[in-house]
Amino acid sequence: MKAAIVTIGDEILIGQIVDTNSAFIAKSLDRIGVEISEIISISDDKNHILDTFRELQNKVDLVIVTGGLGPTKDDVTKKTFCDYFEDELVVNQEVLAHVTQLIEGFYKRPITQINKDQALVPSKCTVLHNQVGTAPGMWMKKGNTVFVSLPGVPYEMKYLVENEIIPKVVKEYKRPYIIHKTILTYGQGESLVAERIEEWESNLPDYIRLAYLPNPGRVRLRLSARGTDKEMLELALEKYVVSLDFIIHDIIVGFDDEETLEVVVGKMLTKQNKTISTAESCTGGGIAALLTSVPGASNYFKGGVVSYATEIKVGVLGLSESMINEYSVVSKEVVSEMALSIKRLMKTDYGIATTGNAGPSKGDSKAEIGTVFIALATPDEVIVEEFNFWQPREKVIDRAVNKSLELLQKEILKNVR
């Protein structure tokens, strides 16, 4: 079964908002074995929408459209659906009752004609009840293709996908199984990882595909198996993951999309009942942000200081001005003291510190742009490493954040083994 996702809205095309709806819908459909053949963003234009529908007609089994269902004149999706299906808008009494209850009962204000018009739907459509909003979903079929229209508001779209679309697709369509396994690696780039596993990759069967998903400092390897025998696919994936782990065990830090390094580190700190704090300069709080993005981070993360300016390193972290003047603000001596200071200040087991020149200018340091020092104060010692992540600025910061967590993870592993 193949599907296409169409997002409607000029605000997406001009970059005013980021299209997160497509990603959510794609993941939701993928989990039930629906293959996404394309994702398209188009303007709020009747002719553009009609041309897109004609292009997708009979090309895919399912077209999911988001956006353009609001009550204002620039939202044209419902009328365009009527044109495409040679239909007319009628009042759906169940939708009208729901909208009235929502406006008058929940929002405590009189319902307007614009609100009532949300109950207008094509007469031939199957209405998908939107419990959390006023715009209903619409399900209509033409030829071999089902067209589904959903509101663009993310939480309304998610409700309809989870409670209406997915159950309906599962009930009405036969689908293959699509199973993914994601292996998270840190410390080596995409080309080096590919070189190490070249022979392993060449021996993958036709029904298993490998995709490289690189980010600065880390590479996710996604294995996707497709077929009709779920148990066979799961066993095959497990077999190839085990053999891959044997080849690159030194850089594998987790599995599946949820097992990011910050999740892995968080679990390890929780299990060992250890705590962490951060003193960040060039990373600007990025390490702390990643650590605290994990639910339950309060169990191990105590706090951090973004000592971006030299005077904060002196005034808050207590570093010596004479030491900074002697060694430079970007140096192993300074970053070492930052890590020790934050560890003492927050009374934690570990302290991470970063200082560097992310660019575009050198600031208070003479070090080359791209130079980053990372220090990890452990219960027993201070580990300092120097890197040059080159440019651009965003890459330097991302790689410094990822490398910091990688160093922490490796140090914690010493106590596990």
Residues 12 and 155 in one domain: yes
Residues 270 and 404 in one domain: yes
Number of compact structural domains in the chain: 3
Question: Between vectors from CA 347 to CA 342 and to CA 353, what angle results, nearest 5°?
Answer: 20
Residue 310, C-beta contacts closer than 8 angstroms, at least 6 positions apart: 324, 329, 364
Residues 123 and 267 in one domain: no
Residues 148 and 46 in one domain: yes
| CATH code of the domain containing 234 | 3.30.70.2860
Residue at a domain's end among 137, 152, 172 = 172
Residues 356 and 279 in one domain: yes
Structure tokens given for 117: 């018009």
Residues 99 and 18 in one domain: yes
Residue type (1 letter), 195: E
| CATH code of the domain containing 404 | 3.90.950.20
Residues 223 and 280 in one domain: no
β-pairing, 301-306 vs 276-280, is parallel
Residues 9 and 120 in one domain: yes
Residues 160 and 182 in one domain: no
β-pairing, 301-306 vs 252-255, is unpaired
| CATH code of the domain containing 55 | 3.40.980.10
Residues 168 and 185 in one domain: no
Label residues 269-293 b or e (16+ Cβ within 10 Å = b). beeeebbbbbbbbbbbebbbebbbe
β-pairing, 145-150 vs 137-142, is antiparallel
- Give the H/E segment covering residue 398: helix 393-416
CB 68 within 8 A of CB 10: no
Residue at a domain's end among 198, 227, 255 = 255
Going from the C-alpha of 315 to that of each of 20, 205, 311, 312, the distances in angstroms are: 42, 60, 6, 5
* Residue with tokens 């340091």, as numbered in its chain: 365
Full-model pTM:
0.63
3-class secondary structure, 336:
helix
Residue type (1 letter), 22: S
Residues 233 and 352 in one domain: no
- The pLDDT value recorded for residue 77 is 87
Residues 166 and 184 in one domain: no
pLDDT in tens, the chain (417 residues): 899 999 998 888 888 888 999 999 999 999 898 999 999 999 888 999 999 999 999 999 999 999 877 666 666 888 899 999 999 999 999 999 999 998 998 888 999 988 898 899 999 999 999 999 888 999 999 999 999 999 999 999 999 999 999 999 999 988 888 888 999 898 888 999 999 999 999 999 999 999 999 887 789 999 999 998 989 999 999 999 999 999 999 888 878 766 678 998 999 999 999 999 999 999 999 999 999 999 999 999 999 999 999 999 999 999 999 999 999 999 999 999 999 999 999 999 999 999 999 877 666 567 788 899 999 999 999 999 999 988 888 889 998 999 999 899 889 887 754
Q: Provide the residue range defining the domain that includes 187.
A: 177-255
- Give the H/E segment covering residue 126: strand 126-128
- The pLDDT value recorded for residue 364 is 58
Residue at a domain's end among 229, 255, 281 = 255
- The pLDDT value recorded for residue 305 is 97
- The pLDDT value recorded for residue 417 is 47
